[in-house]
Amino acid sequence: MFPIVQNLKKSSVGFSTHEPQENAHGSPIVAVVGAKGGVGATTIAVNLAAAISSQVSTTVLDANFQQPDIGRMIGEEPPHSVLELMARAKDLDRHLLDACMQPVSGTDLNLTLLSPPLEGQSAVTASLSELAECLKEIRSFRKFWIVDMPRHLDKHFVTLVDQCDRILLVMEATVIGVAAAQRWLAILDDLGYERDRVACVLNRAGSKFSGVEQQLGKCFPNREIIRLPNASNLLWECSMHGKIPALSEPNHLYCKSIFKLAEQVRQSISVR
């Protein structure tokens, strides 16, 4: 067992390290976690939320208090932040949530953004545990949630992930990327998350690291790996104009793969 897992299991009374939350409120929550920096987890979170919003009202929640990137990525800066919701955790309602969510412009789809202040000030004033408590109260006000998670593993991270119905671990086909993903999977196993609750997403599949990619079956036995094709040019072009590829270029191979992933995620949650 990893030492950090032992420390998490010794945390204070009332903190659950591995018991999943009952989805009694009926609004699924999906956590997107990057196995390491630079694997494109935030981009996937945004595009996945956009794809799912074509079916149901969806909010993408930026849980990176230190470096919230989604707002800048899509050219949106919510006038009110998730901190205002957290400050009124005992007095939350749909109207307050609506005031803090930013509708994604340029689309008629039911997609909204909930973000910390973009300057990162919330990193020293808030925790993911507080965000988790807030999410309990507001999750029923939207049909679907995508949470872009930070990579810092601590008790607060686990408290938030405990509420999630599905965990998408994003990796890339490099030696370092594979090793990072293996560590995360081992930790999630030690924390007691069921294997069918965690899905591996290989980003930039078919790129120059084809040798490593061909060995993934041996590196991750008995685990399905969902592949998203390399789309560097598309993603760069869209980021320069604040566009979401899944909305602006739905017929691109990458975007078709995102929509397929969205359907897989929805189906997997419906049968849990």
Measure the N-to-C terminal CA separation of the chain; round to a whole number of Å: 27
Taking only the tens place, the pLDDT of each residue in 243-252 is 999 999 999 9
For the chain, domain boundaries: 26-270
pLDDT score of 131: 94
pLDDT score of 77: 81
Whether 197 has a pLDDT exceeding 70, the answer reads yes
The alpha helices in 103-231, defined as continuous H runs, are 128-138, 155-161, 175-190, 210-213, 216-219
Taking only the tens place, the pLDDT of each residue in 199-237 is 999 999 986 657 889 899 999 998 989 999 999 999 999
Residue 196 DSSP code: G
Taking only the tens place, the pLDDT of each residue in 80-95 is 899 999 988 788 899 9
pLDDT score of 22: 42
- Residues with Cβ within 8 Å of 88's Cβ and at least 6 positions away in sequence, in order, are 96
Whether 177 has a pLDDT exceeding 70, the answer reads yes
pLDDT score of 13: 33
pTM equals 0.90
Going from the C-alpha of 73 to that of each of 146, 168, 221, 237, the distances in angstroms are 16, 20, 35, 11
pLDDT score of 21: 44
Taking only the tens place, the pLDDT of each residue in 8-24 is 654 433 334 444 444 44
Angle value at C-alpha 27, between 26 and 32, nearest 5 degrees: 140
pLDDT score of 66: 87
pLDDT score of 79: 82
Confidence of residue 2 (pLDDT cuts 50, 70, 90): low
pLDDT score of 208: 61
Taking only the tens place, the pLDDT of each residue in 102-155 is 998 765 668 999 999 887 666 677 899 999 999 999 999 999 999 999 988 999
Tally of CB atoms within 10 A around 21 = 17
Smallest CA-to-CA distance from 219 within 186, 195, 190, 252 is with 186
CB distance 63 to 149 below 8 Å: yes
Tally of CB atoms within 10 A around 272 = 12
pLDDT score of 272: 57
Enter the tokens of residue 179: 């090793």
CATH code for the structural domain at 26-270: 3.40.50.300
Summary mean pLDDT of the chain: 87
